[in-house]
Amino acid sequence: MTKAEKVNFVIDTLNDIYPTIPIPLDHKDPYTLLIAVLMSAQSTDVRVNQITPLLFERADNPYDMVKLSVDEIREIIKPVGLSPMKSKGIHGLSKILIEKHNGEVPANFEDLEALPAVGHKTASVVMSQAFGIPAFPVDTHIHRLMYRWGFSNGKNVVQTEKDAKRLFPEELWNKLHLQIIWYGREYSPARGWNLNKDIITRTIGRKSVINEYNKKASR
């Protein structure tokens, strides 16, 4: 199989499995998505979706959020982890949105990444899922699968994003990155991985990964 054939196999397979794909984090607008994505760092979407309703009941816009203290935000979001850093980020970015952006979430990478606690991945998710602007946010699932499939060297997420954008058509990025995330969770997890269920890796995967899997399975 050529690299182009492998890419097409991934696209076709994911479209068969996930013809439509939900956005994992519950939100109603760009602001609530931004806050949810920030909260999801080193946490799970399930946990975040349990906590965001409690926070958004108190404040679902930057004007109400800055009325809360950092300690009040921290107490609400404590179950998602890293609450000291996240609460400061939520309060700080809300203040900046009011002061510099009329309370609106900016639809560009430069302004998003200038906000407290907002890195490139968070900005990419907001650009893609809130504004429909082509982006390819790379999380742990995408990073793992791009390596397993032989599409990237696994060195770092920056390289993985570059490789993904180079290989896949831009018009597919916003849907495809979500499809890969869901596929990674269901068929190719980091733990409890069953190669027999992982049709994509079994068909096109990096030989070294498959050989290592088979060695472990034969022990």
- List active site positions: 121, 139
Report d(CA 127, CA 137) in Å as an integer. Answer: 9
In Å, how far are 10, 127, 170, 176, 187 from 16, measured between CA atoms?
10, 26, 19, 12, 14
CB 165 within 8 A of CB 136: yes
Question: Alpha helices of the chain — where are they, by DSSP H?
Answer: 3-17, 30-39, 45-58, 62-65, 70-77, 83-101, 109-113, 120-125, 140-148, 157-167, 173-187, 199-204, 207-218
What burial class does residue 33 get, using C-beta atoms within 10 Å of its C-beta: 0-12 exposed, 13-18 middle, 19+ buried? buried
